[in-house]
Structure 1
Amino acid sequence: MNRTALQPADIEALADSLSDSADALHKRIMRAIGQNADGRDAAITHAEAQALFDQEVALRQHANKLYTEAVRYAAGSVALPARELLDLTALARDRIRHIDRVKDVAGIAATLLTAAAAVAAQHPERLPAALKDLKAHLASLRASKEG
């Protein structure tokens, strides 16, 4: 894994990506709720929707913290795989927009939160495991679509 110190612009881009992921998650939840209202089979239960809304809020909170802490991170020159992290969060955001199964949406949102928490807490040693988990979630989605 290529470790490059995150620059303030990288941290801001990560925060933007987390915020965009939260937006995509919100739209996906609302789409599922709308499917429930259409009288079709329930696409999402109340408990599932609430859990996903909680993850959306957590993503937004992590994004906001990253925005406010960008200068501090750059000053500390924490070495993180910036490009890989940004690419994976963008891919996760895209997957959230297009996934049909709530379980898969929840899994991706949870792994995004884990990665965001590692960065926000300035624990870069936790990031590789979070990225590996995110990659595994995304790969399993690709495999299930191909299979």
Structure 2
Amino acid sequence: MTHTKRIVLSSDHAAIELRQTIAAHVADLGWEVVDIGPVTPESTHYPLHGKAAAERVASGDCRFGIILCGTGQGIMMAANKVPGIRCGVCSDTFSARMIRQHNDANMLSLGVRVLGEGLALEIVDAFLTAEFEGGRHATRVDMIEAQETQEAGLMA
């Protein structure tokens, strides 16, 4: 995984405006933003956008990802199907800090129909400034990764 300040953003059609606001905000914080769209309001399928962003993070191309849809739930589920991704949907700053500190989350999912712009930016800041604590939490993250490997072995 890369430790550069490179972050991928994606959304479905419902969240274009908030995604672009977040992209500008994280760029102002010094992050290199990879915004993979969409850019037009035609209806799109959030699973495709969640997967595309997750693949950028899983490959190491981007350190983190932020994805958005109406509730944040569906796109998060799609992202978590990509091996190596730990994505949580957050509607508060405490949860955003905790998914980084305790779960070493590498993606954040937000719901445009759940959050206002101000709170969304506060959640993004909490996620990006929190650091993984390791220790007992590392053991649990290792267990999650082992489950992922076991499931991949069952599919082979």
TM-score of the two chains, using structure 1 as the length reference: 0.33
TM-score of the two chains, using structure 2 as the length reference: 0.31
Q: Which has the larger radius of gyration?
A: 1
Q: Larger % of strand: which?
A: 2
Q: Larger % of helix: which?
A: 1
Pick 1 or 2: higher relative contact order, CA cutoff 8 A, min separation 6. Answer: 1
